Amino acid sequence: MMTTVKPSFEIMIVFDNRCVKPGFLTGFGFSALIYNHFTENYVLFDTGSNNKILIHNINKFNVDISNIKKVVISHEHFDHAGGLDGLLQINPNLDVFIPMDSEISFKRAFPGVSFNGVAQLTEIEKNIFSSGQIGGSYMKEHALFLRTKDNEIIIIVGCAHPGVEQFIVKAKKMADIKAIIGGFHGFRKFSFLDGIEFIGACHCTQYLDSIKERFPNQFKRICVGDKFLF
Ligand SMILES: [Zn+2]
Ligand SMILES: [Zn+2]
């Protein structure tokens, strides 16, 4: 008899500008919806640039928006934070996690909303961590580290402006990294990806072809409408 192993997380791609499956919509930006099997909660990472596209794609996965109570915004750019207003209209009590240094600009843009500014590595719910804010004076950014029941880390990044390697180095202090998904921006320090089984570079990744060439078996194409189980 086959035994089915229950996953720790389901990761649904709900926003990306490179690839889209039939029935889903595309726009500039990135967003991933995570279902956490440890808590049976949804956590939304980033919101793309447009709430109508975002909500369409989430509904397409048969997820009721009102069941999403926690949103993590990686950084201030509109292609990650642009869909937030529409979600707040549906649920004004959303728990929104942002980099600590971006609190002033988010509070200015969304008066009356309470934001959780994250400075250090923080467990926002069981086995889902904010990396804590990383980056210089230009802009701070945080990523998510998901810890599976096998004690492996899945990293989800927005644009990774501070450099993907910074998030990798920090996550490795917790456990081995199994997967990384999101925008890699201008990242070229490819040796930091060695040993990672699943490399889902998408969105703003400039050197996508080089990554694909160097990691032909690990590279995974990421499309809006994809669901990955870990
Ligand atoms: Zn971006
Ligand atoms: Zn950005």
Can you give the residue ranges of every domain in the chain?
9-229
Kindly indicate the confidence band of residue 3, based on its pLDDT and cuts at 50, 70 and 90: low
**Mean pLDDT for all residues in the chain:** 96
Q: Which ligand is nearest to the CA of 202?
A: 1
Q: Which ligand is nearest to the CA of 161?
A: 2
Alpha-carbon distances of 110 from 33, 44, 55, 113, 180, rounded to whole Å: 22, 18, 19, 6, 30
pLDDT exceeds 80 at position 4: no
CA 59 to ligand 2 centroid distance, Å: 25
Q: What is this structure's pTM? A: 0.97
At residue 86, the pLDDT reads 96
At residue 1, the pLDDT reads 56
Percent of the chain with pLDDT over 70: 98
Spell out the residues 6+ positions from residue 129 whose beta carbon is closer than 8 angstroms to its own: 121, 122, 123, 144, 145, 146, 147, 174
Note the pLDDT tens digit of each residue in 95-135: 999 999 999 999 999 988 989 999 999 999 999 999 999 99
pLDDT exceeds 60 at position 158: yes
CA 230 to ligand 2 centroid distance, Å: 26
CATH fold of the domain at 9-229: Metallo-beta-lactamase; Chain A (3.60.15)
CA 79 to ligand 1 centroid distance, Å: 5
